[in-house]
Amino acid sequence: MIGRLCGVLLEKNPPQILLDVQGVGYELDVPMSTFYNLPALHEKVVLHTQLIVREDAHLLYGFLTLEERIAFRQLLKISGVGAKLALSVLSGLSLQDLANAVANKEVGMLTRIPGVGKKTAERLLLELEGKFIAAGTVVSGIPVSASNHDIIAALQALGYNDKDANWAAKQLTKDISVSDGIRQALKLLSKVG
């Protein structure tokens, strides 16, 4: 998987950009929150990425912050939400506004986003409740640090559900490295299971 790209920005055509990484041009779709904060053309930029492989295409999405990519992945887990809709949500609301909408159950804020009707907004609020990940917010009631984001993601990639991954991350010290955190979390989970 392609997790991060560092290169020179060649083209900006909303919502798509072209990034030259050592002579290879990568086309990426980005949310408008990322697009507006990109540097000028021919300047260097680092993007966190998400590769989505479909039967008819390989699509690459880019984000300036790790929190945006985490939120994008969280949105993709919701039934009926594809990459295009997830990108619209992140383009229509800042991460803080999305977190506030989820916390306050504000359907109206979500229905202002193109492509999000009332039923979709209600499903988003229901599915994201207690799971929304952004800087300084909580995951299932657990405050998370940047390293805990990576630990939780690694545990989920290994097949652990959200509840178990979040529980294990909560047991770790705040200043633990990602590799040590994963190792200790796996030990904790093996004792419980």
Domains (range + CATH), the chain:
4-63 (2.40.50.140), 66-128 (1.10.150.20), 140-192 (1.10.8)
Per the rule left: phi > 0, alpha: psi between -120 and 50, beta: everything else, 149 is alpha
Mean pLDDT of the chain: 85
Q: Three-state SS for 114? A: coil
**Cα maximum dimension of the chain:** 52
Tell me the pLDDT tens digit for each residue of 132-170: 644 344 444 444 455 677 788 777 777 778 788 888 888
SS3 category, 90? helix
Given a contact cutoff of 8 angstroms between Cβ atoms, the answer to whether 31 and 87 are in contact is yes
Stronger pLDDT, 145 or 7, i.e. the higher one: 7
Q: How many CB atoms lie within 10 A of CB 155?
A: 23
User: How high is the pLDDT of residue 138?
Assistant: 41
φ, ψ for residue 147 (rounded to 5)?
-70, -35
Q: What is the pLDDT of residue 5?
A: 95
Most confident of 73-82, 153-162, 183-192: 73-82
* pLDDT > 70: percent of the chain: 91
Q: Which pLDDT belongs to residue 134?
A: 42
pLDDT over threshold 50, residue 124: yes
